[in-house]
């Protein structure tokens, strides 16, 4: 009887240091930019950069494996007031959702929507027009808020778009990434979100127009219809789990090459702070497992054995700072081959299915 040999994975893992090498090579840099405190004063992500980043994210999110099933609608923690804070240019609304036990076991959240009800606008109270350029929209952005051990908060941009000022009704925002962030934190604490309402463009007139945008809050005293809702859609991994992702059980007598979760937190990398602004981190994945060796594989005498390696990958959208002489600029770009999409047993770089 012929013996079938099994080769354990020896390919190079996607480490944090390798991520640094790839980013520097992509940007044509030999080292991480040396930023000073003055470079970070009044740091604001320009609208065109924010829009470009969000469009790249949305292109990634359209890849759905199957139609999701509705897991539940969360309306916040009872009694939570849902603070609304104001500044000269921004209105911020805090939201809290208790999701413990709301997501079914052995399931995957394929999509999460934050639904906010926009109150009707009192047009008589709108500021008088101050320029020839009309202002019809306000910029509404949703941030995921992570509470640190030292009592401070870090925020990550999740979704952002223009909302018509004079229209009322439900507005939906894609917060799938925020739920995935929350799940990676073991999902024990409530999930905190912040809604920022800003002017469509720079200037006092656009800022004053944006202040007319109001969403119903979680405050029980707010009698307006339509409390904030977090709508979750899930897939049962028992029915729709990808055969290409690693599972705990071993497949005896078969190749075990699979895609394993491997999260890289950019907030925890000293060299990435504060150079990389978004995302806070990403699921890079990596290939793990072994490959069966055919007893009589037709191949060249000098060819190596089959091994588990990346067969398909996708890009990662990133917002970052770049030095231009004596000043800094904020840019957005897609870094290719950052996320492993599929693993396969390969021989000399050629996938064997």
Show me where the domains of the chain are located: 6-45+52-61+242-294+304-351, 69-237
228-242 residues labelled b (16+ CB within 10 A) or e (exposed): bbbbbbbbeeeebee
Angstrom distance (rounded) from CA 320 to CA 331: 6
Angstrom distance (rounded) from CA 332 to CA 329: 10
What is the mean pLDDT of the segment spanning 119-143? 83
Look at strands 281-283 and 290-292 and give their pairing.
unpaired
Question: pLDDT higher for 25 or 253?
Answer: 25
What are the tens digits of pLDDT across the range 317-332? Answer: 888 888 777 777 888 8
Q: What is the pLDDT of residue 85?
A: 63
Query: What band does 250 get if pLDDT is binned at 50, 70 and 90?
Result: low
Residue 71 has pLDDT above 80, yes or no: no
Q: What is the pLDDT of residue 217?
A: 86
Query: Would you state the structure tokens that stand for residue 27, as one six-digit string?
Result: 């940007």
What are the tens digits of pLDDT across the range 19-50? Answer: 788 888 887 888 887 777 666 666 677 888 88
What are the tens digits of pLDDT across the range 193-249? Answer: 999 999 888 888 888 888 889 898 888 787 777 888 888 887 676 655 545 777 755
Mean pLDDT is highest, among 133-142, 252-261, 327-336, for 133-142
Mean pLDDT is highest, among 80-84, 176-180, 267-271, 273-277, for 176-180
Question: Do 291 and 257 touch, CB atoms closer than 8 A?
Answer: yes
Residue 69 has pLDDT above 70, yes or no: no
Angstrom distance (rounded) from CA 237 to CA 204: 50
List Cα–Cα distances, 106 to 103, 234, 237, 263, in angstroms: 9, 10, 6, 19
Residues 6+ apart with CB under 8 A from 192: 94, 95, 96, 144, 145, 146, 147, 153
Query: What band does 9 get if pLDDT is binned at 50, 70 and 90?
Result: very low
Q: Which fold has domain 6-45+52-61+242-294+304-351?
A: 2.10.90
Radius of gyration of the chain, Cα coordinates, nearest whole angstrom: 24
Residue with tokens 């064997």: 352
Residue 238's nearest CA partner among 249, 229, 228, 227 is 249
């Amino acid at each position: 009887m012929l013996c079938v040999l099994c080769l354990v994975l020896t390919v190079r893992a996607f480490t944090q240091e390798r991520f640094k090498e790839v980013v520097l090579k992509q940007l044509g840099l030999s080292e991480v930019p040396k930023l000073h405190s003055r470079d970070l004063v009044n740091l604001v992500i320009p609208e065109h950069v924010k829009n470009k980043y969000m469009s790249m994210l949305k292109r990634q999110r359209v890849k759905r494996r199957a139609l999701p099933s509705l897991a539940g609608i969360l309306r916040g923690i009872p009694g939570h007031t849902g603070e609304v804070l104001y500044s000269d240019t921004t209105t911020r609304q805090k939201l809290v959702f208790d999701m413990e036990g709301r997501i079914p076991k052995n399931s995957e959240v394929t999509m999460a929507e934050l639904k906010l009800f926009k109150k009707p606008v009192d047009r008589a109270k709108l500021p008088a027009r101050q320029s020839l350029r009309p202002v019809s929209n306000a910029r509404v952005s949703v941030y995921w808020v992570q509470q640190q051990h030292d009592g401070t908060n870090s925020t990550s941009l999740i979704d952002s778009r223009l909302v018509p000022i004079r229209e009322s009704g439900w507005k939906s925002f894609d917060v799938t990434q925020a739920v995935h962030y929350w799940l990676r934190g073991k999902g024990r604490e409530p999930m905190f979100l912040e809604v920022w309402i800003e002017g469509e463009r720079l200037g006092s007139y656009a800022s004053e127009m944006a202040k007319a945008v109001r969403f119903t809050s979680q405050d029980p005293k707010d009698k307006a219809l339509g409390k904030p809702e977090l709508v979750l859609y899930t897939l049962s991994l028992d029915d729709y789990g990808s055969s290409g992702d690693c599972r705990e059980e071993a497949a005896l007598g078969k190749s075990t090459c699979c895609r394993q979760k491997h999260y890289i937190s950019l907030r925890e990398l000293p060299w990435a702070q504060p150079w990389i602004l978004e995302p806070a981190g990403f699921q890079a994945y990596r290939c793990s497992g072994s490959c069966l060796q055919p007893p009589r594989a037709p191949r060249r005498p000098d060819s190596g054995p089959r091994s588990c390696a990346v067969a398909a990958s996708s890009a990662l959208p990133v917002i970052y700072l770049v030095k231009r002489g004596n000043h800094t600029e904020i840019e957005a770009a897609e870094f290719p081959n950052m996320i492993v999409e599929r693993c396969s047993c390969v021989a000399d770089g050629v996938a064997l299915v």
